[in-house]
Chain A
Amino acid sequence: MKTLKYFIQTAFLLSLILMIFDSCKTSLAIKEKTGSVLWSENCSRCHYSPDPEEYNDAQWDVIAMHMRVRTNLTQEESEKITRFLQDAN
């Protein structure tokens, strides 16, 4: 059990180092991003990104508001993601 414990903790630390390197990359502000980019970046923070065809426009409106409240998405992110899902379904 101890070996497994140390393995998981070491992997966790190595991943933190990976994050630090990752943070050195040039980044884009939200206003420059498309809805599809925001959809891919934000949904996957908790779960895999849904297929736009899973729901109709009205359903995406409900889900988007639910997710905006639950995960504190900004209004701009929420609107762009909703528009992308509704255009692509």
Chain B
Amino acid sequence: MKAAAFHYHDPRTREDLMGLLGRLDDLKLLAGGQSLMPMMNFRIVAPTHLVDLNRVDGLGGISRQGAEVRFGALTRQREVKASEIVANDLPILTEALDHVGHVQTRSRGTIGGSCCHLDPSAEIPAIAALYDAIFEIGGPDGTREVGYADWHLGMLTSALDEREVLEGIRFKPWQPADAGHGWGFYEYARRHGDFAIAGAGCLVDISDQGTIERIATVVMGVDAVPVRLREAEAALVGARPDRTAIAALVEAARSIDAMTDPQVSATYRRRLAGVVTERAVLAAFQRSGITQ
């Protein structure tokens, strides 16, 4: 359980980093290391070069940029969890982070690392899916931006080219100051901090007339990637936030093509998909201030 030999690079500036990305072959980028280091120690991954991002200037930090909140990719999960900006503008992310590993792993783990690793049960990519977050990608040949749908290509697979680095992630908050906004997050894991068997997040805006103006619901851990319940969401615009609306989303969640493993069957995953969706949506409706 010792990593195979690798060349270690410790760039300090963005310029140095881009130089390494342009020059090196067979490399891995090291952010918080909470997934990569075990994978290297198991020799599941054995890169020739390891490029450490931890001391590159300017890769961290949380800021408001216009209507958006921007995270430097290297922002620690613990910092996100403690951020007042996040608590105010993206409270569902603050809550979801309670379930991301433990204090110790969050102190090292980064928001960008989680979005690049893309474990099926990971909370941060699921919240990014909920907000259709924007991913800022840099490389020796320039920068580009992609939305969540074009970022998360499959299980453990992002849009990142080997010579690219995720530099930042932008979330556009909904209308958190408005009385008609609600959010809910619920996940089920056998032990706190484990990768969830199923989890769900929901954002909703309720109109003055008491109908759903906009809704987003995501289910994670059930399929290989977080699933947005887009059809059900679209069908609920204009509907009342009631038991029928919840049932429609639960039905959609239960229809997800669920994964199976030696300890958790697809049937149970689908059952939990329904339960967590119901609880997340109910919490969102209740928070919107419209109780029906």
**Do A and B interact?**
no
List the interface of chain B (C-beta within 8 A of A).
none
